[in-house]
Chains A and B, each alone.
Chain A
Amino acid sequence: MTSSLLPTAAPPASGHSRRRGRPSRRFIRRAAPLAWIGPAIILIVIVVLLPVVVMIQSSLQKISPDGFVLGSAGINNFITLFGESALSGVLLRTVIWTVGVVAVTMVISLGLAQLFNARFPGRRVARWALIVPWASSVMMTALIFRWALDPNNGVVNVVLHDVGLLKAFNSNEADWLGRPVSALAWMMVVAVFVSLPFSTYALLSGLQSIPEEVYEAARIDGASYWKLYTGITLPMIRPAILVATLINVINVFNSFPIIWEMTRGGPGYSTSTSTTFMFTLKQSYIGESAALSVINFAMVIVIVLVYLRATHWKEQVD
């Protein structure tokens, strides 16, 4: 009935044999790709490449808080930036934030992927719950956690008080977001929470690509569950783990809404990462903020280079 879908129905592709034409025709053939990919190139240049140029340029300029260029600054913006007493703390926190959130996310999603890959009734519905944090705006998710941590009547404090772990409301103890260490810890929890859905789905895709026969053979040989997992599952989903990890690193490093909505990077700069610090600086010291952006961007480039290697992107493109 669907005879036109059968490959045999298609005649040999002789209709458009390539002929070497006159120079004008050759030019048209050379330029043909541009008609198709040109708009994409223009959009990328305007939105992605030019901002990088402007950013680097701004990092070398003296700029007033309202945005006027007052002349060249040489490397003064970088010197001021490295003189900031808050900078070392910010960079250290950026490392803790990125490494901590990604590591915890990946470990938990390995478990979740295994769980959601198993067959049980209602699996589809259960998986849908996972996409809610993924599809929702991260800033809104961060705000509900800020509400839940309110020192006066946040749900977290109410529960802790009910079980006897919290002595008094409105105390220093109850003010989770007022203390730098506990604030950072809670924000990392939120960052893990919103990173889990993508990571779990990515690992699920990896798990689904493993043919069942591989396990059958190993089971016949009497391998234990743990042996199957470390011997077959983990090595087979290694590429998925690697790619998901690197994408998470980029996302978490660049993450802004969680910290901004929960503490604004404060008190002081004590819960800032380099992304939120860049944003705070931008409000009055544009040149210095551009200098920090240049450094952030350099870090992103390093991560991207690792990513390109890890995904063997060249082979994929062909």
Chain B
Amino acid sequence: MTTLVTPTATSRVVARPPSSRRRGGAASAKKLILALAAYIVAILFLLPYLEMVVVAGRPAKELLSRNFFPTHFDWSNFATIWSTGFGGNLSTSLQVAGGATIVVLVVALPAAYYTARHRFRGRALFLLLVLATQMFQPAAMLVGIQREFLGFNLPSPTLSLILINAGFNLAFAVWILNAFVSSIPVELEEAAVVDGCTRIGAMMRITLPLAMPGIVTALIFTFISAWNEFLVALTLTLSAPDSARPLTVAINSYVGQYSIDWGHLFAGSLVAMVPVVILFAVIEGRVVSGLTAGAIK
């Protein structure tokens, strides 16, 4: 196997020496300083969220005291929050984010595949339209969204939120899937067709499995942005029952006019944040190219 010397393998061998070159003590001292600086930056980025954990674990009696850490931690907020109807909000968020993810997959995948494989009249216009959905955020047209979707009189705001989140995250999915499909040689599909596959069969069995990292990235990204969306959800669930509100709106409602239920607020925030942060770590390296429509790879 290793006797096979392809052009890429040789160029890699040539490229290796400069990068693995070692210098003496000065270099390792520099490395140590860099590492320290980076760790400090990393801790600064984590501090606000660590403080969230501390507040969520503060006993209610100590919410007004001025110590950095409470005398003891009390995690009961994570248990009592479920009696405030938080479970219903969690379920609504799952429906909105899950629904939007499915809609994006169904709508973006064919569009991305076709635009990557075919040149047709109107292709550039279509891609421009897709790009527009990424650049125009709901905030800039909120009044229109509100009046249009209230006019539709849908049975629950969940359905509206699924469509809106799917629409505004379509671009990310189309760009990243388009790039993945383009990078897979069309010859692979053609070989499968020669071997007796239909064209759709070749797409399903050859191209889609190879594009799987792109599909996973698009799905996770859509899920996270729909999960975190706040402004449209706040606007469309104003007159909805409490349980029809997603997590972000529910957490916002812990902010009262005169007092704030900080313990539940941050316990709820942590429950909402931890899963998506873990999901984001999976796709971290591929997000930039989708967000910049391939302008930065």
Tell me whether A317 and B124 are in contact in the complex, defined as CB-CB below 8 angstroms, given that A129-B45, A293-B143 are known contacts. Answer: yes
One digit per residue, 1 when the CB lies within 8 angstroms of any chain B CB and 0 when it does not, for chain A 143-172 equals: 111011000110100100100000001000
**Contact status of A158 and B107, CB under 8 A, knowing A139-B251, A202-B288, A316-B295:** no
Q: Give chain B residues whose Cβ lies under 8 Å from the Cβ of A148.
A: 48, 51
Which residues of chain A from 173 to 218 have a CB within 8 Å of any chain B CB? Answer: 193, 196-198, 201-202, 205-206, 209, 212-213, 216
Specify which chain B residues have a CB less than 8 angstroms from the CB of A240 in the assembled complex: 296
CA distance in complex: A139, B233 (Å): 12
- Which of the residues B38, B191, B294 comes within 8 Å of A115, measured between beta carbons? B38
Least Cβ distance of B39 to chain A in Å? 6
Interface residue? B95 (CB, 8 A)? no
Interface residues on B, range: 35 or more
A209 to B118, CA, bound (A): 29
Q: Which of A41, A129, A282, A307 contacts B129 (CB 8 A)?
A: A41
A147 vs B147: C-alpha distance in the bound complex, in angstroms?
34
A92 within 8 A of B: no
Segment at the B interface, from A81-89, A97-105, A120-128: A120-128
With a cutoff of 8 Å between Cβ atoms, the chain B residues found around residue A11 in the complex are 190-191, 194
Binds B, one of A20-28, A130-138, A226-234: A130-138
Q: In the complex, A206→B297 CA distance in Å?
A: 8
B26: chain A residues within 8 A (beta carbon): none
Once A47-B167, A54-B144, A137-B272 are accepted as A-B contacts, the answer to whether A254 and B126 lie under 8 Å apart by CB is no
- Tell me whether B38 and A289 are in contact (CB under 8 A): no
Contacts of B193 in A (CB 8 A): 15
> Given B107, B167, B231, which contacts A48 in the complex, CB threshold below 8 Å?
B167
Known: A5-B188, A136-B273. A158 touches B68 (CB 8 A): yes
Q: Which of A294-318 contact B (CB under 8 A)?
A: 296-297, 300, 303-304, 307-308, 311, 313-314, 316-318
Alpha-carbon distance between A290 and B144 when the two chains are bound, in angstroms: 8
Kindly state the separation between the CA atoms of A145 and B265 in the bound complex, as whole angstroms: 13
Instruction: Please report the C-alpha to C-alpha distance between residue A4 and residue B210 in the assembled complex, in whole angstroms.
Output: 14
Q: How far in angstroms is the closest Cβ of chain B from A255? A: 8
Quick check: A137 and B292 within 8 Å, CB to CB?
no
Residue of A nearest to B178 (CB): A317
Interface residues of B in 29-62 (CB under 8 A from A): 31-32, 34-35, 37-39, 41-43, 45-46, 48-49, 51-52, 55
Digit string of A255-282 for contact with B (CB within 8 Å is 1, else 0)?
1110001000000000000010011001
Using A33-B123, A137-B269, A313-B127 as known contacts, list a sample of 7 further A-B pairs with CB atoms less than 8 Å apart, ordered by residue number in A.
A48-B133, A48-B167, A55-B143, A140-B269, A147-B266, A206-B296, A307-B135
B residues in contact (CB < 8 Å) with A: 1, 15, 18-19, 31-32, 34-35, 37-39, 41-43, 45-46, 48-49, 51-52, 55, 64-66, 68, 103, 106-108, 110-111, 113-115, 118, 120, 122-124, 126-133, 135-137, 139-148, 150, 163-164, 166-168, 170, 174, 185-188, 190-191, 193-194, 199, 224, 227-228, 230-231, 235, 247-248, 251-252, 255, 262, 265-266, 269, 272-273, 276-277, 279-281, 284, 287-289, 291-297
